[in-house]
Structure 1
Amino acid sequence: MIKIEGLSKHYGNKVGLKKLDLTIKSGEIFAFLGPNGAGKTTTIKMMVGLLRPTTGTITICDKDIIKETIAAKKYLAYVPDQPYLYDKLTGREFLEFVALMYKIPLQVATEKIEKLTALFSSYEYVDRLTENYSHGMKQRIVFSAALIHDPQVLVVDEPMVGLDPKSAAIVKNVFKDQAAKGTTVFVSTHSLDVAEQIADRIAIIKHGEIIALGTLEELRKRVQKEARLEDIFLELTEEEQPN
């Protein structure tokens, strides 16, 4: 699970995030939505240990990401919005490298790579150099790498960018399967249809603060109408026009 308490981030006089409190349970798919510049990526980078908070704590499966970074990251997987691979490795070699970092025995790693290659339909190119991959191919390999150590928390930033419909369907099914196994899935996305389809709970952030949090039905009650998530999001994040 993920527990965030009093989390804030300041950049000099600019406040990127204001006193965020969140608890996300095991087996929950949690969608984190907001306009550009709202604080989504700042939150994610602090959650995965890439950015130090100004105040507050983040625990991943009861491990403090700042004080117990290595221990916390054993439970964690992160898929960024831009997939980065080593150009001179094949997809398989990259997955073997990631498995080695997590100290997964070779035979177990080989079996997992075969299963993930089948899951993401990447047989056709997994043994080619990644420098020749399309964005979608890279994204499938990065997702495979994220799942290779059976994480208990999966954090994903913009998972559908550059994916064709087949790949997007695979990713949505992966989220559901992981949650069914008890994995906490934290997804930041601009794809509101995806969030509406898969999320158990949704948070909407604006100017570094959560302005709405709950199930889709709870958000509908907030705006007092039976609306799609897109309409709810636009209504809640609309900026007031000056007189």
Structure 2
Amino acid sequence: MEPLLAFEDVTFQYSSGQSVLEGVNLEVRPGEVVWIRGPNGAGKSTFLRIAAQLLQPQAGNIRFRGHLLLPRSRCYLEEMTYIPAEPYLFDYLTGRENAEFIRYLFSIPRGDMDTWLQRAEAEFGLVGALDRLVRDYSLGMRHKLYWAAMLARSARIFLLDEPFSPLDHDSRTAMIQELMARVAQGAAVLFTTHVGELAAEFSTREVWLRNGRLDTAGHLED
């Protein structure tokens, strides 16, 4: 089966000269949930930001459905959802206004967004919160709102950076069930997390990032 996403000798270093990734290779196929492990500072978030096209590597290629991925590729961005450790939301807009901005930004059909906002109220404990300013939200509520808005998209690739820690048990369960339903339909997930037990059940395989390289064997001490 052809990979949805393939990283070929991807190298990245910061302007300070600090090397983060050195010739990283990884293939992700439809139906896979890949847990990217590694110690703090190993470059896991940087790797996901490169996959989300927020950073550009100094060397190497990334392929999407077998085709070389160019910067800001529209066809890729339409099928990719990135959820960072701290959601991109505007403090002085309400939850509903933030969702409307995301809907406009990603051309999400209004009906799809309305459906997910209703689910957010019913399943994620956001009843009465959507019309409040986001500055008054807890980190967990910010994540619930951002998840709900981004799940309204018909994405095939999900890039998740520490997505589960701020969520309560019920919301976390609902998010994972939704992701697994999409994986069953051919989506793929790359994620990082320190919630080990949950990740072990959720992932289909694990890879380790350390010393700038990615490997699939070895032991990592927490």
- Aligned residue for 2:154? 150
Equivalent in 51, 54, 71 of residue 50 of structure 1: 54
SS of residue paired to 1:233: coil
Instruction: Compute the displacement of 1:108 (Å).
Output: 4.2
* 1:167 maps to 2:154: no
Aligned-pair identity (%): 27
| Match runs of 1:32-181 below 5 Å | 32-62=36-66, 64-181=68-185
In the alignment, the residues of structure 2 paired with residue 107 and residue 184 of structure 1 have an alpha-carbon distance, to the nearest angstrom, of 25
Deviates further, 58-67 or 98-107: 58-67
Q: Which runs of 5+ in 1 are unaligned?
A: 214-221, 223-231, 238-243
TM-score normalized with structure 1 length: 0.81
In the alignment, the residues of structure 1 paired with residue 111 and residue 173 of structure 2 have an alpha-carbon distance, to the nearest angstrom, of 30
In the alignment, the residues of structure 1 paired with residue 45 and residue 32 of structure 2 have an alpha-carbon distance, to the nearest angstrom, of 20
Q: Which runs of 5+ in 2 are unaligned?
A: none
Deviates further, 4-13 or 100-109: 100-109
Structure with bigger helix share is 1
Greater RCO (CA < 8 Å, at least 6 residues apart): 2
Q: Report the CA distance shift for 1:176/1:46 in structure 2 as closer, same or farther (over 3 A).
A: same
Q: Report the CA distance shift for 1:143/1:108 in structure 2 as closer, same or farther (over 3 A).
A: closer
Instruction: Compute the displacement of 1:3 (Å).
Output: 1.1
In the alignment, the residues of structure 2 paired with residue 112 and residue 202 of structure 1 have an alpha-carbon distance, to the nearest angstrom, of 30
In the alignment, the residues of structure 1 paired with residue 118 and residue 68 of structure 2 have an alpha-carbon distance, to the nearest angstrom, of 33
Deviations 1:48-93 (A, max 9, x none): 0111101112234456443452221111001101123111222122
| Match runs of 1:204-219 below 5 Å | 204-212=208-216
- Aligned residue for 1:233? 220
Deviations 1:158-209 (A, max 9, x none): 1123222223322332332221222111111122212211110100111111
* 1:9 maps to 2:12: yes
TM-score normalized with structure 2 length: 0.88
**Conservation of the 8 A alpha-carbon contact between 2:53 and 2:72:** no
In the alignment, the residues of structure 2 paired with residue 106 and residue 154 of structure 1 have an alpha-carbon distance, to the nearest angstrom, of 21
Deviations 1:218-240 (A, max 9, x none): xxxx6xxxxxxxxx432xx8xxx
Larger radius of gyration: 1
**Conservation of the 8 A alpha-carbon contact between 2:94 and 2:131:** yes
In the alignment, the residues of structure 1 paired with residue 165 and residue 47 of structure 2 have an alpha-carbon distance, to the nearest angstrom, of 19
Instruction: Compute the displacement of 1:119 (Å).
Output: 4.3
- How many aligned positions are there? 218
